[in-house]
Amino acid sequence: MSSPNTLHLNQSGPTEFVFQVLTASHKIQVLLFCFFLLLYIMILCGNSAIIAVVCAYSSLHTPMYFFLSNLSSLEICYTTTTVPLMLSNIFGAQKPISLAGCGAQMLFFLTFGGADCFLLAVIAYDRYVAICHPLHYTLIMTKELCMQMVVGSLGLSIVFTLPLTALVCSLPFCGHRQEINHFLCDAPPVLRLACGDTHIHQAVLYVVSIFVLTIPFLLICISYIFIAITILRIHSAEGRQRAFSTCSSHLTVVLLQYGCCSLVYLRPRSSTSEDEDRQLALVYTFVIPLLNPLIYTLRNKDVKEALKKSVSRKDTSKTMKV
């Protein structure tokens, strides 16, 4: 006699996933759509402005701003992987996504997110060299090394996320259509829907999370320990303030990024709920990519001056045309 799971698995048709509706109220759906669309536009505009300013002004052609512009590029790719599909499903149209489509979104989401974490560690190393070894900074942080670090961050992320995605998508699922209590195809919510034993898959997820989250975070902490020691040795208060200001923006981003992601991927499954995961995912999908350009522009003198020059040039060109 067949078990219920076997009966479910024998259902005809390919596996499809449907995202759970955020709310049944049409008015709230409209408000949520407008709100998330506004956030998405702000993320695109803010991060695109940083990329454009860094490219336009030669004074910003330094390793730090090169990494910052690449971080903004990752934020744009990161949100674009999830937000458009989320907006199309927010009204409860129940549009299914195939297993292949779900796997593709998971792969891109995890890859860009992982590269984001590795790049934050690279930025910490850049700050370490700039503050602890200022005389050798230009010799160490060459254009070739900076490019290798950016490409390496993306490549290392793919090395970890591609096998994880393939492993998760190879699981059997109970039934033809699965409802995900989430707004994206992430590894934890998809694993919850699997019929078979997922202990190995959970273990792989933890190992990947440790390599992508914990190790870069430890490297960042080590970098900032040396940075703090060097700053404390600076005699002038103005010098200490200048050195600290170059690191405070990066530290703010690090705490937000690693804090939220660690709560989702490193907590035991028994201590987490689907609703909590979805709320945290909203933070690192919308809030962090939106705050990144704001943090770096509001706390960075060079970027603020470049933005002011860019705006004043546009105003001058408009006046001349009139």
Q: What is the domain-level CATH number for residue 222?
A: 1.20.1070.10
Single-letter code of the amino acid located at 270: S
Range of the domain at 221: 11-308
Strand partners, 179: 18
Nearest-angstrom CA–CA distance, 223 and 227:
6
Residue 314 maps to a domain: no
pLDDT reading at 299 higher than 70: no
Report the sign of the C-alpha dihedral through residues 250, 253, 255, 257, in that order: negative
Q: Which sign does the torsion angle of CA 85, 155, 202, 281 carry?
A: negative
pLDDT in tens, 164-216: 999 998 888 877 788 888 888 988 888 888 887 888 889 999 999 999 999 99
Residue 1: how many CB atoms within 10 A of its CB? 3
- Min mean pLDDT across 50-54, 77-81, 215-219, 271-275 is at 271-275
CA distances from 64 to 98, 138, 234 (A): 40, 12, 22
Write the CA distances from 92 to 30, 34, 71, 88, 278, integer angstroms. 11, 15, 33, 9, 17
List the beta bridge partners of residue 247: none
Residue 77 counted as domain residue: yes
Structurally, the chain folds into a number of domains equal to 1
Contact 106, 169 (CB under 8 A): yes
Answer yes or no: is 56 within a domain.
yes
The predicted pLDDT at position 106 comes to 94
Most confident of the ranges 35-44, 229-238, 244-253 = 35-44
What mean pLDDT value characterizes the chain? Answer: 83
In a domain? residue 165: yes
Q: For strands 16-19 and 177-180, give the pairing.
A: parallel
> How much of the chain, in percent, has pLDDT values that exceed 90?
35
- Model pTM score: 0.85
- Within a domain: residue 321? no
- Is 98 domain-assigned? yes
